[in-house]
Amino acid sequence: MAFYEKEEKKWNIKVRNVATREMESYACDFLVLASGENNEGYIPKVLGLEKFKGEIIHSSEYKSGQKYEGKEVLVVGSGNSGMEIAFDLSNYKSCTSIVVRSPIHVLTREMVHTGMLLLKYLPIPLVDTLIARCAKFRFGNLAKLGIPQPEEGPFYIKISKGRSPVIDVGAIDKIKLGEIKVLPGISKIKEQTVVFDNGEEHQFDAIIFATGYKNAATKWLKDYSSIFLDDGTLINEFPNHWKGENGLYCAEEVPPVVSSDVFLFVQRESGVTPSSFDRPQLTE
């Protein structure tokens, strides 16, 4: 727990020593939050979720699809984690469905790598157009499968909003074969079934939420109102997003810089290290 003592003008922190298991107290003039911006699995509030009698887990708890063989499983979230889990479940012969609520870009690893290299020489809009056409040639019109695409290009979205495209591991082919069913957003959840926005109602044995992570700092930081909202998101915009009041700071990610982010992205998302190119320096 951490709180600001106004009379002393200091931050008071109470922690448990992992070695001795005893509580210890500290006082300091400055408090820097560097525990990560996404450190706790996020499960959204869905009407009726508490009534569901089947299994409910976050994607961080998912180990293997083997235990779900022959079961009806719903994956909520169509990002990389959601698509990979749906693919794995299908490989283990579960009756798999996935919720695709928002438009997404689906690319292959090769498309990501090619786009990264092109971005060194060509503007983002042109690269986005070329890669989007490659994706349509490879996957066809995904909107017909219930997977709409954003109007903005994949690399523009990554650079401006920090959202990564989905790197397909084989889930799209399984969707085309009918081995993975695509469903719209959830309207409400009942004891054994889920009702969707299109009015359909399906029965499930388990629901896996691949809905990302949230900042858990608001659970132990008592005086966070100058830097975080109640849900853990930052109050201030770049470049002052990291500054709070009374000596409170956070080491959150800053909005990405084009020249640096594209190379970090290719390493993280596609597993390809562009070692043959000199990595650009961060701009001021």
Tokens of 221: 């930081």
Q: CA–CA distance from 38 to each of 133, 149, 198, 233, 282 (Å)?
A: 33, 26, 32, 10, 24
Interval 18-63: pLDDT, tens = 889 999 999 999 988 877 656 678 899 999 999 999 999 999 999 9
- Helix axes of 109-118 and 124-139: crossing angle, nearest 10 degrees: 160
Pairing of strands 106-107, 166-167: parallel
Please state whether the peptide bond connecting residue 239 to the residue before it is cis, i.e. omega within 30 degrees of 0.
Answer: yes
Phi, psi of 277 (to 5 degrees): -120, 150
Q: Class for domain 40-104+165-209, per CATH?
A: alpha beta
3-state class (DSSP) for residue 110 = helix
pLDDT digits (tens, 9 = 90+) for 125-148: 999 999 999 999 999 999 999 999
Q: What is the pLDDT along the chain (284 residues), one digit of tens a residue?
A: 888 888 889 999 999 988 899 999 999 999 888 776 566 788 999 999 999 999 999 999 999 999 999 999 999 999 999 999 999 999 999 999 999 999 999 999 999 999 999 999 999 999 999 999 999 999 999 999 999 999 999 999 998 887 899 999 999 999 999 999 999 999 999 999 999 999 999 999 999 999 988 777 777 788 777 877 766 677 777 677 777 888 888 875 544 434 344 445 544 544 444 433 333 333 32
**Strands across the sheet containing 201-203:** 186-189, 193-196, 201-203
- Cα angle at 17 between 15 and 23, to 5 degrees? 55
Q: How far is CA 206 from CA 5, 154, 179, 182, 232, in A?
A: 46, 32, 17, 16, 28
- pLDDT at position 161 is 80
Q: Radius of gyration (Cα) for the chain, nearest Å?
A: 22
In the chain, where the domains are located:
2-33+217-253, 40-104+165-209
Q: Residue 183 and residue 75: Cα distance in Å, rounded?
A: 10
Q: How many CB atoms lie within 10 A of CB 90?
A: 22
Return the pLDDT at 263.
45
Q: For residue 72, how many C-alpha atoms fall within 13 Å in the half-sphere facing its CB?
A: 9
The runs of H, that is alpha helices, within the chain are 80-91, 109-118, 124-139, 154-161, 171-176, 217-220, 258-270
